[in-house]
Amino acid sequence: GESVGLHLPTLSVQEGDNSIINCAYSNSASDYFIWYKQESGKGPQFIIDIRSNMDKRQGQRVTVLLNKTVKHLSLQIAATQPGDSAVYFCAQGAGGFKTIFGAGTRLFVKA
Amino acid sequence: DAGVIQSPRHEVTEMGQEVTLRCKPISGHNSLFWYRQTMMRGLELLIYFNNNVPIDDSGMPEDRFSAKMPNASFSTLKIQPSEPRDSAVYFCASSSRGQGANEQFFGPGTRLTVL
């Protein structure tokens, strides 16, 4: 069945370092991928998206990379800050309006 | 805009009771989604509406769950009768784009505890 999974459930990084969060997906027909951030006690919040006809997209301090050959998605956060501590979800379009979310990776930023 | 509004924020009830969760989407958004989040199963899509019409309810776990969207500014998710395994955080989200994966705006969630 369709699934979006993550290689690492937790990631701990030093403040100021770069973070890389990885995601594997199974539905090769998806034309749209998204990263969400969820802070404790809040709902997920959109970070950045990428269409399947792209392999890289940059935002403010974040970059998403898409490798369709190996069905892999990654989120890079530059100069990680304490406020980046959260759970990060990758998600993919699953047809129509449907979105499938991955299991999530918890990012800890050490001061 | 106030964002997606959900009520109540917390609900504690006893097994067998009816539970109604409420959601007000962002004004102008035409799609509304109900999700359930647990440690074991993660974030699961239960049902979504487009222009107030239910499009896909394949994620609704059982007949005990029902959802309605009587107008563009209000939706409910009802559990009757509730069971302890329904304990979870329930999120409502809305979006305004067309087909395909959309940027969804999530509400703060309702934490449901069924004793």
- Which amino acid, one-letter code, is at B3? G
Residue B25: DSSP 8-state: P
The answer to whether residue B12 scores a pLDDT higher than 50 is yes
**Nearest residue in chain B measured CA to CA from A103:** B42
Any idea which residue has 């991955």 for tokens?
A102
Interface test with B, best of A88, A97, A106 (most B CBs within 10 A): A97
Mean pLDDT, consecutive 10-residue stretches, chain A (111 aa), reads 52 96 88 93 94 94 95 96 96 82 92 88
What's the pLDDT score for residue A6? 41
Interatomic CA distance for residues B1 and B101, integer angstroms: 23
What's the pLDDT score for residue B96? 86
Interface of B with A (CB under 8 A): 4, 31, 33, 42-43, 45, 48, 50, 55-56, 91, 93, 95, 99-109
pLDDT digits (tens, 9 = 90+) for B93-109: 999 865 544 689 999 99
What's the pLDDT score for residue B98? 58
Q: Are strands B74-79 and B65-71 parallel, antiparallel or unpaired?
A: antiparallel
Q: What is the overall mean pLDDT for chain A? A: 89
- For A43, the closest of B48, B56, B91 (CB atoms) is B91
pLDDT digits (tens, 9 = 90+) for B14-65: 999 999 999 999 999 999 999 999 988 889 999 999 999 999 999 998 899 9
Please provide the distance, in angstroms rounded to a whole number, between the alpha carbons at the two ends of chain A. Answer: 40
**Nearest residue in chain B measured CA to CA from A90:** B43
Listed in sequence order, the residues at least 6 apart from B62 whose beta carbon sits closer than 8 Å to its beta carbon are none
Listed in sequence order, the residues at least 6 apart from A100 whose beta carbon sits closer than 8 Å to its beta carbon are A2, A3, A4, A27, A91, A92, A94, B45
CB contact under 8 A, A97 and B48: yes
Q: What does the DSSP assignment read for chain A?
A: ---EE-S-SEEEEETTS-EEEEEEE--TT--EEEEEEE-TTS--EEEEEEETT-SEEE-SSEEEEEETTTTEEEEEESS--GGG-EEEEEEEE-STT-EEE---EEEEEE-
CB contact under 8 A, B93 and A43: yes
What's the pLDDT score for residue A109? 96
The answer to whether residue B81 scores a pLDDT higher than 80 is yes
Q: How far is A77 from chain B (nearest CA, A)?
A: 20
3-state secondary structure of A78: coil
Q: How far is A81 from chain B (nearest CA, A)?
A: 23
Q: Are B78 and B22 in contact (CB under 8 A)?
A: no
Which residues on B lie below 8 Å from A32 (Cβ)?
100-101
**Nearest residue in chain A measured CA to CA from B92:** A43
Q: Are B106 and A39 in contact (CB under 8 A)?
A: no
CB contact under 8 A, B106 and A45: yes
